[in-house]
Structure 1
Amino acid sequence: MSFALPLVRWFAAAIFAVAASGACAAPVADAVASHTAVVNGVKIHYLQAGSGKATPVVLLHGFGQNSHMWKPVIGKLADRRVVIAPDLRGAGDSDKPSGGYDKKTMAQDVHALVTSLKLGKVRIAGHDIGLMVAYAYAAQYPDEVESIALMEAFLPGVGDWTKVWLLRDLWHFHFYGETPLKLVTGREKTYLEHFWNDFAADRAKSIPEADRDRYAAAYAQPKATWAGMEWFRAFEQDAKDFAGFAQTPLTMPMLVLSGEKAGGQFLIDQGHLVDKNVQGMIVKGSGHWLLEEAPDQTIPALVAFLGR
């Protein structure tokens, strides 16, 4: 089934809507506040902005970043709704416990946070590892998710996913344990630059240097790099969980954004295997870091989908 024509119409409307709302975005972005909450047995740090009766939005980051990545988006969504962007278990200023790095449990963390804030039904988006957590959230609490956006990675256990997981240049998925951790400790920025540089279509348009320093410092915190490696170690359990989730397809609207020079069509195809109402968009010229490499395409599409 072709989604080309409706997607073109929808994307054109998205650009107009985002442009029309641009005047009010900056003041809201300035009002982003930092909070912490203890939920599901862990302390979760999160950013929050906005107010109003429109459906709240939850934004989930991936590996090599934290909630800070969403600041260019938060202000464009928070004009009439609450927007939160948590640091996932193991990342940023959230706790780094000894376990619970399967995405099913991490989604339960986010759900407990949403419940504690009395947000009710939400729209949710995730990039990289965050998309796995977003899917696990929607699969576990489908009646509490109005729409979902998946950005640039893959869903373990869905379709022919091992073609991604077992690629030789994705060695980091299997790089965890005592020796890898010793090799990376004190060299966190060098380690992370593999992701920021090699997964970008053009490393000069990837993560800005100031953000690289910010994220490297965050991953240099005690247990932070270990926890990030545990996210990868958990993929085999995630695959079992997601294969089970996929037996009951989602029905809420799903937007899949995938970089032309990275995941391409693969994640869109996976989306169709887990949801009956999917819009897929290839972000032209972009690698993995959609918000940084192609903000002019990614942000209008994302904001229109989550904020319409």
Structure 2
Amino acid sequence: MAGVLDALKIDRADLVTHDIGNMVGYAFAIQHPGRTTRFVLIDAPVPGVGPWEEVLKNPLLWHFRFGGPDMERLVAGRERIYLDRFWNEFPPPPAVSPRPRASTTPSCTLYLAQCIRVSRNLQHLIRMRSTTRNSSPLRASSPCRLAIGGEKSFGSMMATIMRFAASDVTEGMVPNSGHWIMEENPEATIAIVRDFLASK
């Protein structure tokens, strides 16, 4: 990320991240605290921050510990089954957010056709597991933080978890949304983020 900003001749920037992007953004904010003006983390805890071991006990998050050659062999040839659960189980029930399940949409079909091999994803999770105890707290001089959770996903727990890393954390919640907030309630998500970035 620092290299991209350097190439674009951007010294400082607001950072808005989601899911695995939270982990990337968190590392960047720690390594380059002076380059991020505001930091928005959306609906995914950072490994090693707060009650991480308790977070992993959530049945929906079993994939965080699903890694290694045996697991890779179990998934081989069944990639669609493995990936479908992310689209179909993480959103809220249709009664809350009435939209087609993502696995049936053309964009998901295109993604599945072009996605990186699942083995690389599993190896990433293995590497992530090896670093979960090494997350450092954000410095007092680091940017203002907004932690957003989907109402039917992490919700207010996002801010609770991130306050283990920094005291200056504002809480945000996207109503009628699960994990895929920009697909499920983009209007509310954009409004919350814009209000925070515009604040002094």
Q: What TM-score do you get using the length of structure 2 for normalisation?
A: 0.85
Length, aligned pairs only: 194
Matches within 5 A, 1:244-259: 245-246=136-137, 248-249=139-140, 251-259=142-150
CA RMSD of aligned residues (A): 2.2
> What's 2:152 paired with?
261
Give me the identity figure in percent. 30
From 208, 216, 224, give the equivalent of 2:112: 216
Q: What does the per-residue CA deviation read over 1:239-291, in whole Å, with 9 as the maximum and x for residues that have no partner?
A: 2331xx21744542111110111112221112222233221112122111111
What SS is found at the alignment partner of 1:234? helix
Distance 1:195 1:154 in 2: 16
Q: Deviations over 1:162-196 (max 9, x none)?
A: 11123344221121222322332343232111111
Contact 1:258–1:282 (Cα < 8 Å) also in 2 = yes
- Offset at residue 298 of structure 1 (A): 0.7
Q: Which runs of 4+ in 1 moved over 6 A?
A: none
Distance across 1 between alignment mates of 2:5 and 2:130 = 24
Q: 1:209 to 1:234 in 2, by over 3 A?
A: same
Q: 1:172 aligns with which of 63, 67, 90?
A: 63
Task: Determine which structure has greater relative contact order: mean sequence separation of CA pairs < 8 Å that are 6+ residues apart, divided by chain length.
Answer: 2
Correspondence for 2:51? 160
Contact kept, 8 Å, 1:157 with 1:240, in 2: the verdict is yes
User: Structure 1-normalised TM-score?
Assistant: 0.57
Take 1:161 and 1:266, find their aligned partners in 2: how far apart are those partners? 12
DSSP-derived class of the 1:282 partner? strand
Q: Which structure 2 segments of 5+ residues have no match?
A: none
Aligned to 1:138: 29
Written as runs of structure 1 = structure 2, the 5 A alignment for 1:62-141 is 110-141=1-32
Counterpart residue identity of residue 184, structure 1: V
Question: Does the CA-based 8 Å contact 1:250-1:276 persist in structure 2?
Answer: no
Residues 123-144 of structure 1 show CA distances to partners (whole Å, capped at 9, x for unaligned) of 1111111111111111110011
Query: How far off is 1:306 after superposition?
Result: 3.8
In structure 2, relative to structure 1, the CA distance for the partners of 1:193 and 1:250 (3 Å cut) is farther
CA positional deviation for 1:236: 3.1
Distance 1:191 1:250, change over 3 A: farther
